[in-house]
Structure 1
Amino acid sequence: MFRRSIKSQLIICFFVLMLPVDAFLIVNNGYAKDVVRLKVSETYRNTLDIFVGQTDRNLQQINDYLYKMSVLDSDAGLLMSFPYGSDNYVLTKIRLQNKLNRDIGFYNLIDTIFLYRENDIIFSTTAPNADKYRSTQQLLKKDVRQFVDQAVSDQMLAQDKWMLWHDDLVAGSDFLLKLSEVSPGLYMGAMIRVADILDLLSIQWDYGGIGEGAIYRQDGDRLRERLGVPKQESGEGVALDQVRLQEGRYQTVTDKKSGKRYLLMNRPSGMADVTVSILVPESYLLQGLSYFQKVIYFVEFGIVFIFALYLFFIRRMVFKPLQQLIVGMKKLSRGMLDVRIKTNQNEEFIFLANTFNNMAEQIKTLKIGMYEEQLRAQKMEFKQLQAQINPHFYANSLNIIYNFAALKDHDSVKRMALHLADYFRFIMRVNRDSISLGEEMRHIENYIEIQKFRFPNKLSCSVDVPDHLQALQLPTLSLQPFVENAIIHGFVNRRKPFLVEIVGRQFSDGRQSFLALTIRDNGAGFAPDVLERLNDRAPLPQTESSRLGIMNVVQRLQLRYGEAAAIEFGNQGEEGGAAVLIRLPLGEEAGIQPEGEVAHV
């Protein structure tokens, strides 16, 4: 029912129309974001490729320098030929020290250059103060042997690859290391702090909210931040300890602490086992799209708001008058003929309301006319029934009186005349529509007593009607025609005593109380074809004109009570005899509580 209403169809149509629009806006918004990410990532990727490529070229130049020093420098080749501590050894060492001090200034990335042989280290560093110089000296004394062993075991001496090393003695802890073998037992190496590379990277990426640069190991662990710059002051301060170093243009990651989303681009170095990454906040990338998104939300909200106003207007101008019309029609269908509709919304509904009111008035007039016509039909049926009963019964009664008079049985004549007078007195004064059940029983008693004069010692009647039901009102002559029909058609075996039983009970179906009256006899019962016609309310053949009285009763009860009244005809099975069950509805004014259910015939 909800799906068929105009209101529900309007709402469904609105959402059907709006869903494609919303889907288009959402898809378009997502497409715009993807385009921005793609274009920005291409620009940033090119810059990242340039930075990593330049860094790799610097590392390669340092490799070339180490190779030339190892192969071409005469002092480096002669150092191992002099005994340790000799004058020539010391002079050669001094010349090498001067060369290292000179050459370290040519390479911006180099932090320390050193020569190592057993028990001796020659190095030069860009340390700005004495503390850093001492820390570098301590690092070399402590770890240089491990540098050599690691390079030999990993076969890094003959390769261009740089090793990644970690030690807290170096500011920033992480640094790149490259070793070259000058001669057996003599090694030359260079150290580059990762923090220095990050400094160069931060010039481009740690500016305001543009993004942040970072360097990761190949396993995804992030290396230390720039020297002297707290993490919260370095760009966005992204706390991404682990990232997926996957290939591709870009990937989207989320900071676990802040919940912010970032565009991550990776570029592995060809000279060291590190990956340079840049992180760009999506808020910076999509800052121009936020206004467009707000416009989309505003448009959607505006459409919903306009539809709500439109629905309110439609409800007031259409739905409300239409609902009044529907309620009025429902009341009219339930028999509430006084219902009227008042509306002044618009010309169309004023016309519908006036038409409805005129129709209701016509139905009311028509129903009153039909009711009056039914009353007139009931009276005519009743008068017709009286006309059919009186002449036939009157002739038989006179014959009985005549026979008793001829036999000079004066007592029987007096009793017969008394019962006959009461019988016809009842017939003549029953112009009213209803009588009490007690009055109907007394009329049946007079009729039975008159019939007993015709069939002495052969006819009897048993009445079982509680006293509290005697005052109930029912249509006049509702039972007597059935008793008369039983005697006329059931009492065919005149040798066998004939018994007529009348039983009255009250019952309820849970919603309404009913009076059930049963008239049964021990006679021949109904013929099958007659029984079928009676139950189907079909016309009886002309030969069954004597049963016209019970058909008149059926019609009068249907006119009076409608579908609430019921009459069932049947036979009593093996015992024989006819049975009639009459069910009449009781009004609340009866005031009698139900006693139980009554079985059907």
Structure 2
Amino acid sequence: MLRTLWKNSIFSKLLLIFLLILIPLFSLGILLYNWGIGAVRTQLTGSIQTSLESILDNFDQDVQRTQSLLFETLMNDEDLAMLALFPQSTAQYSEYEKFQMIGRLKKLLLAVKNSNRYIADVRIHVPLLNRTLSAAAWPESFRQDEYDDFSRQDERLRMVYRNDRPYIVMKTFNSKTDNAQPYFMIVVEFSAKELKDSLFPLLQYGNSGIYLRDDSSRFFVGTTNDDKAQSVEAALPRLGQAELAELKAAGSSYQVFRAHSSSLGLEAVQYVRNSELFQTIRIYRVWIWCYSLVGLLILALFSLYAYRYIHQPLVKMVRSFSRVENGDFNVFIKHDRNDEFQYLFSQFNDMVRNLNTLIDQSYRQRLLVQNAELKQLQSQINPHFLYNSLFILNTMTRTGDYDNLEYFTIQLGEYFRFMTKNNQDDISLGEEIRHARTYADIQSLRFGSRIKVVFDELPPAYAGLSVPRLIVQPVIENAFIHGLEQMPEKGWISISFAAEEDHLAIVVGDNGGSLSDQQLQYVQAILAGEAEAGEEVGLHNIHRRLQLKFGRHGALRLSRSTEGGLKAVILIPLEPTKERE
């Protein structure tokens, strides 16, 4: 008996629901926790890696700026070329003039030195002058050892290293001689102390260090040079090309980060003890578990309340809206509690009743509008078309062109018979295309060789489609009147058909040049309902009647043709659609 009561009680069902909710949430919480720990680790390590890369990037940019400045100021300097390449020619200058030349060069060297805080000195070695010009001192004796060392360096290297210091070396050779030695050499010496000082702001953790080293181990500068740094340096060959690795040094585990600049031949290395780097994660672990327990308790209480007083009424409303969306307007929601949902359900019931009334009225009115627009199109026989037709008949009669006269009168009679036929709102696509072809033939006789009409055959499979009357001929008429009528020759209009998976496209294109981009945008806005229709009411009516017939699947689309005229595309869906969609 107790088992039966427990099985059928509401409490047991709520408890089961709570467990079904709690278990996935708890599992998801564990997954999110592990993902969060991984994300924090990635963020911490990524921040350090980004800092290392920024050190090399900034230094590389400084080197590039310095090289550009050297090219602009010194490499093409006339005084330097005179002193370096033709020192004997300077005999014509007085000592004061030579002093001025050297002084100006020294100012340039000082300007280059002061442009970058990492530069310790800028020197120019001039072997023919047997002098070394320096930004830090007055011209001194020629530094032969430095000149010889840098002469042997590969010119493709942007940065060279000597005596535990980095240098930029720029050489200039005499292209008119076979001498392999440069006739002057510019050497920029970078300060190891400044480079070292720039590393200290990146030390965000205790028991960590950063150092820079070149690929050939001839340059090493770091925040510290203790046993940990030496252990890390000794272990680098075992790490290969890995940018992030973990190793043990001095009895502790360290994360080692590396960033390399191939253009500078320089590598930045930072090591941080794991206990310092991931201390934040251990603190968050405790807080996450506390918040998780409190969150689970709140979730249980809130879920119980929300399920009964919010979830169930909302589900009832959603299901009712779904029925209305599917066309069932015989919906009534009953709600016993006197709360906000009572008001919502009462308004919903009133809304459904009003919708039933409005839909019936709107549907009837749309049918009346559709019939009225069709009658308007049928009654709008263009008087110019009638005058021109009578004029053509008169001309054919006077000239005795009886063969074309008979054909023209037959075509004209078919045209007016179709236009005055009011007993049908919808016709087959085959009939509509025959009427459009009749109109095109009449206009071809009128314009003769001025306008060429290319009218493709309608695929037989689509001849039986039911479409509104007068959707193709008015588009062709618009092309003749507004696009081609004023062209003296080489006018062109084509009517083609393109079948897609879900619709048939009737494409009417011309090469009329009178349509501006502003006019095209205005007509497109009318079809989109963004502007009021003026003289373009005919095209707008075609678009509206297509949508009344086929809903959003039927439409008239306008764009610029490849020949520069207007391209009109009539879209007719191939699948049955609801007219009241």
TM-score of the pair, normalised by structure 1: 0.41
- Specify the structure having the higher radius of gyration (Cα): 1
TM-score of the pair, normalised by structure 2: 0.42
